[in-house]
Amino acid sequence: MLEKTIQLRAFSDVKEFVRAAEKCEFDVDVFYNRVVVDAKSILGVMSMDLTRPLTVKYSKEDSCTIEQTLNKFAIA
């Protein structure tokens, strides 16, 4: 399992992130505190507290655009 911390600041960021997750054939989950949502669900991601950093967990079983998108929204 791979893990990255990201920050989604605008609705357009959420749309781009969810579209990238939808292209993956494996599970992509978003965590904040005790809440876990499917990254392929735009309503689920929008229900998260977007003012806080989010943790994304995924398995890199094939190549898809999720890596590029996560790197775009990654925080140090």
**31-66 pLDDT, tens digit each:** 998 999 999 999 999 999 999 999 999 987 666 678
Fold of 2-73: Histidine-containing Protein; Chain: A; (3.30.1340)
Write down the pLDDT at residue 38. Answer: 97
22-30 average pLDDT score: 92
Contact between residue 68 and residue 60 where contact means Cβ atoms under 8 Å apart: no
What share of the chain has pLDDT > 90, as a percent? 76
Contact between residue 6 and residue 56 where contact means Cβ atoms under 8 Å apart: yes
Quick one: DSSP state of residue 61? Answer: S
Write down the pLDDT at residue 55. Answer: 96
Contact between residue 70 and residue 18 where contact means Cβ atoms under 8 Å apart: no
The whole-model pTM stands at 0.90
Write down the pLDDT at residue 61. Answer: 61
Contact between residue 14 and residue 44 where contact means Cβ atoms under 8 Å apart: no
